[in-house]
Structure 1
Amino acid sequence: MTDEELTALTQEISAEKFQKLFKHRASFNQRLRTTGGRYMLSTGNIEVNPRSMNDYGRQEVIDIVKHELCHYHLHLEGKGYKHQDGEFQELLKRVKGTMHCRSLEQYRLKQKKRYQYACKSCQISFKRTRQLDTRKYVCAACKGTLKKI
């Protein structure tokens, strides 16, 4: 699917589900890593993660576009367009959109805890994705020194 086809799909979804025109551009952005898509407040454009299309197909892209169109239309109308706003949640339910995309959930599941640490005093161990400076941090339970396993 090209960016032009994505824009046409977005215009079609907007007309069908929202009964409103989508006057901006929709494009794929492969730099998106942790999200399926985003609505750009400054430009009005919508960007979609191409991995969503590759991994899950057209229906996943449609769900992402519905979510981003909720942000789009509410923002242009001057209403609550953020996730926590009631107007956003109500519109998302009405168009049968989803709050989270599958690609984001899979990304979170794939993240592995690469570093394991233990307290030298109380022997409590824990895992972290990022490396800790063991000279700077101490055990939360007993204030003992940490060691990398």
Structure 2
Amino acid sequence: MEQRELQQLVQRLSIEAFGKPFRHEACFNARLRTTGGRYKLLDGSIEINPAVLELYEMEELIGIIKHELCHYHLHQEGRGYRHGDADFKKLLKETGSPRYCKPLGKANSKPQKIHLYQCKSCRLEYKRRRKMDVRKYRCGKCAGEITLLQN
């Protein structure tokens, strides 16, 4: 899907679900990591995470767009547009918009590297996400020397 197609989809959903036009810009933003979309208060634009299209079907994208349009229309009207506001929760129900999107974190994050260390004396293993200098540390159980087993 291209930017132009996204813009047309957002405008169409705004008319169909809310009965009001969307007069600002809608675009993809690949820098979004954990959220499906974002409504920007300052310029009225809506940004959508392109990972939604890669991970899920069109229904999820439509749900995210409707959620962001709830923020948009309420803010434009000067009503409660935040997640905790009663106006926002009511409009979500009326339009059938989801309150949250499905998790996106795994798609955009790098796999965690685990460093495995072992005590030379008692063979106690230590798993660490961050690499450590084995010359500075000793075993917490027996005060033995620690070596790196696996990077």
When the two structures are superposed, what TM-score results if normalisation uses the length of structure 2?
0.70
Q: Assess, with a 3 A threshold, how the Cα gap between structure 1 residues 77 and 57 changes in structure 2: closer, same or farther.
A: same
CA contact (8 A) 1:83 1:89 kept: yes
- 1:49-64 matched pairs, under 5 angstroms: 49-64=49-64
Partner of 1:33: 33
Greater helix share, 1 or 2? 1
Query: Can you list the C-alpha shifts for 1:105-125, whole angstroms capped at 9, x where unaligned?
Result: 766xx987x69xxxxxxxxxx
**1:42 is aligned with what amino acid?**
L
Partner of 2:71: 71
- 1:16-31 matched pairs, under 5 angstroms: 16-31=16-31
Across the aligned residues of Structure 1 and Structure 2, the Cα RMSD in angstroms comes to: 3.1
Distance 2:59 2:104 in 1: 15
Q: Assess, with a 3 A threshold, how the Cα gap between structure 1 residues 82 and 128 changes in structure 2: closer, same or farther.
A: farther
Query: Can you list the C-alpha shifts for 1:74-118, whole angstroms capped at 9, x where unaligned?
Result: 0000000000000000000110010111134766xx987x69xxx
**2:25 is aligned with what amino acid?**
R
Aligned residues: 126
Partner SS for 2:103: helix
Gaps of at least 5 residues in structure 1 are 116-126, 132-149
What is the CA distance between 1:59 and its match in structure 2? Answer: 1.2
Partner of 2:80: 80
When the two structures are superposed, what TM-score results if normalisation uses the length of structure 1?
0.71
Runs of 4+ in 1 over 3 A off after TM superposition: 103-107, 127-131
Distance 2:129 2:88 in 1: 33
Query: Can you list the C-alpha shifts for 1:22-44, whole angstroms capped at 9, x where unaligned?
Result: 00111110000010000010110
Q: Assess, with a 3 A threshold, how the Cα gap between structure 1 residues 130 and 84 changes in structure 2: closer, same or farther.
A: farther
**2:95 is aligned with what amino acid?**
V
CA contact (8 A) 1:51 1:103 kept: no
**1:98 and 2:91 correspond:** no
Distance 2:97 2:56 in 1: 16
Rg larger for: 2
